[in-house]
Amino acid sequence: MGSKRIKSNLHSARNKSEKIILDPRGSFLQNWNKIFLLFCIIAVALDPLFFYIPVVVNDETRKCLNLDKRLGIIACVLRTFMDAFHIIHMIFQFRTGFIAASSRIFGTGELIVNPRTIAKRYLFTYFIIDVLAILPLPQLVILLVPSLKDQPVAFVTKESLKYIIICQYVPRIVRIVPLYIEVSRTSSINIVPESARAGAALNLFLYMLASHVLGAIWYLLSVERQVRCWGDVARKHRRDRRLLYCNDDKDPRRTDHSSNPDLLPLLNTYCPLINPDDTNSTVFNFGIFIDALHCLPRVLRLDIKRHLCLDLLMRVPMFEKMDEQLFDAMCDRLKPVFYTEKSFIEREGDPIEEMLFIIRGNLVSHSTNRGITGFFKVGYLKAGDFCGEPLIGWALNHQSSSHLPISPRTVEALSEVEAFALLADDLKFVVSQFGPLHRKQLQHTFRFYSVHWKIWAVSFIQATWRRYCKRKLLKSLREEEANDSGLSPTPGATIYASRFAANLLRNLRQHETPTPRMLSQKPAEPDFTAYQNQ
């Protein structure tokens, strides 16, 4: 009796184990393989996003290699999500039966359901390939490399991602091929398109996927080409190569070009982005990568700038009446710029060289009205705002000199700031075509929105209010002196009261810090009369 009970328990346990073995000919596993094949193709298309994380910052203020942190986070999240499906597929592989090769000679073949045999077969076939394909190495690079000390983070990240993604691309593609064959063999419906349209769509998709992968590799090689040129210049002229990598919190010396003021001119001289056919022995030849370094073709760049900047330009009140051609001309002259935290965009009293249109980030502006005691104005700027608007009045003035306007405030970045900059000469060229058309509207708009006029108006109101308070105090003192005498104020009493009040005010001023004159010089207004005969 006992032996029979033991045999029955073993038989039930065997039956329970056989229930969790999946039949490769079943509908569930066939549908799952189709879904997993689709996710494998999407994963192959997402991996090249890591090649776009290194970004070349190449503007008038600095030249360095930076990292797109936002894209890095997005790529890591998407890759982790795709790898989760791969892990589920690996679990299914340990519980998926297979047809013995020796039993396929006669009939449909014998389904092997022994878990050990299934696991042993999977471990010696595709298990190692699946493990290599889902190792979270790119995620670790994005998360751990920024914590390295005394290392060029951007350079280490670029090099690590280049080798990791290329090496992991091999097992990912190798895994797709047998999966595609398995789905085609076990599926009752042929997944290979038979119609001409479906076949054309599949070929177009494969062509776009290959173009996407090759384009990402081409972009990464272009970045390496630019960094190589900068490195050659720094090594040849014995400059610190750490300045070629954008600033971070661990090493403030990076991208601090103020310590090497001649570095930017050297990079501009030896690494200009010019046509490869126009290069000579003294200029670096970028070859086929020149187009990638130029963020696309001119027409496409203009379309992207217009999409990003048109709303920003229309926020400027003085540009409301502009036509489409002038907006296109202005968008074409915009240049992308990037500012790190605590960097100064404008300084009070310095010339304004460009007008800035903010895309992302926060800034603070404050003004002391050129050091006048008792005056302090603070404002905050965010995405969608702009600064440097005194340049508009300078550009609108038909008879303005070559001297740039003076900034009435200091603008400082509270966080990383991305913006588009419009240089003073470019703004003057565009506005010169716009001013004669809307002369009357600009006369009123300029005063209403000008920062110079706002600051002057505030200081004018303050000075007027203080004069009023002094006169009121003097009047009250005179009336009090007249009431004490009990007589109507005579000319002599008035003179006496005035002297008394003046002496009293003089005594008060001796015990206080002298207050400078609050009223600043009235700002100049653009000369619109020159447009009358145009």
Q: Which of 18-32, 182-196, 350-364, 383-397 has the lowest mean pLDDT?
A: 182-196
Residues 363-403: pLDDT tens digits?
998 877 665 555 667 788 888 888 887 787 777 765 656 67
Mean pLDDT value across residues 212-241: 87
Helix/strand/coil for 241: helix
pLDDT at 393: 72
pLDDT at 9: 41
pLDDT at 462: 75
Helix/strand/coil for 406: strand
Q: Which distant-in-sequence residues (6+ apart) come within 8 Å of 76 by Cβ?
A: 138, 139, 142, 143
Confidence grade of residue 489 (pLDDT, cut at 50, 70, 90): low
Q: How far apart are CA 409 and CA 347, in angstroms?
A: 6
pLDDT at 452: 60
Look at residue 108 and tell me whether its pLDDT is greater than 70.
no
pLDDT at 206: 84
Q: How far apart are CA 271 and CA 258, in angstroms?
A: 20
Look at residue 75 and tell me whether its pLDDT is greater than 90.
yes
Residues 422-465: pLDDT tens digits?
888 888 877 776 655 445 555 555 555 565 666 667 777 777 78
Whole-structure pTM over 0.75, yes or no?
no
Confidence grade of residue 272 (pLDDT, cut at 50, 70, 90): confident
224/501: higher pLDDT: 224
Do the Cβ atoms of 216 and 258 come closer than 8 Å?
no
Do the Cβ atoms of 135 and 86 come closer than 8 Å?
no
Mean pLDDT value across residues 218-240: 86
Helix/strand/coil for 96: strand
Q: Would you state the structure tokens that stand for residue 158, as one six-digit string? A: 């670029």
Residues 461-488: pLDDT tens digits?
777 787 788 778 777 776 776 665 555 5
Q: Would you state the structure tokens that stand for residue 401, as one six-digit string? A: 């000199």
Do the Cβ atoms of 363 and 421 come closer than 8 Å?
no
Residue type present at position 312:
L
CA angle (331 as vertex; 329, 334 as ends), nearest 5: 115
Mean pLDDT value across residues 58-70: 81
Q: How far apart are CA 472 and CA 290, in angstroms?
A: 72
131/265: higher pLDDT: 131
pLDDT at 519: 46
Helix/strand/coil for 377: strand
Q: Which of 129-138, 244-253, 414-423 has the lowest mean pLDDT?
A: 244-253
pLDDT at 80: 93
The residue among 373, 361, 364, 332 whose CA lies nearest residue 346 is: 364
Look at residue 35 and tell me whether its pLDDT is greater than 80.
yes
Look at residue 509 and tell me whether its pLDDT is greater than 60.
no
Confidence grade of residue 147 (pLDDT, cut at 50, 70, 90): confident
> How many of the other CB atoms lie within 10 Å of CB of 350?
12
Strand pairing report for 98-99 and 111-112: antiparallel
Q: How far apart are CA 425 and CA 421, in angstroms?
A: 12
Cβ-in-10-Å burial (0-12, 13-18, 19+) of 430 comes to: buried
Q: Which residue has the tokens 């190495």?
A: 137
> Average per-residue pLDDT in the chain?
75
> How many of the other CB atoms lie within 10 Å of CB of 337?
20
Q: How far apart are CA 93 and CA 22, in angstroms?
A: 9
The residue among 376, 294, 372 whose CA lies nearest residue 335 is: 294
Look at residue 60 and tell me whether its pLDDT is greater than 70.
no
Where are the alpha helices (H) located in 397-450, listed in sequence order? Answer: 424-432, 439-449
Percent of the chain's residues with pLDDT above 70: 69
pLDDT at 131: 92
Cβ-in-10-Å burial (0-12, 13-18, 19+) of 444 comes to: exposed
Q: How far apart are CA 268 and CA 274, in angstroms?
A: 11
Mean pLDDT value across residues 204-212: 88
Look at residue 25 and tell me whether its pLDDT is greater than 90.
no
Percent of the chain's residues with pLDDT above 90: 10
Backbone angles phi, psi at 68, to 5 degrees: -85, 95
DSSP assignment of 494-522 equals: HHHHHHHHHHHHHHHHHTSPPPPP---PP
Confidence grade of residue 13 (pLDDT, cut at 50, 70, 90): very low
Where are the alpha helices (H) located in 94-136, listed in sequence order? Answer: 115-123, 127-134
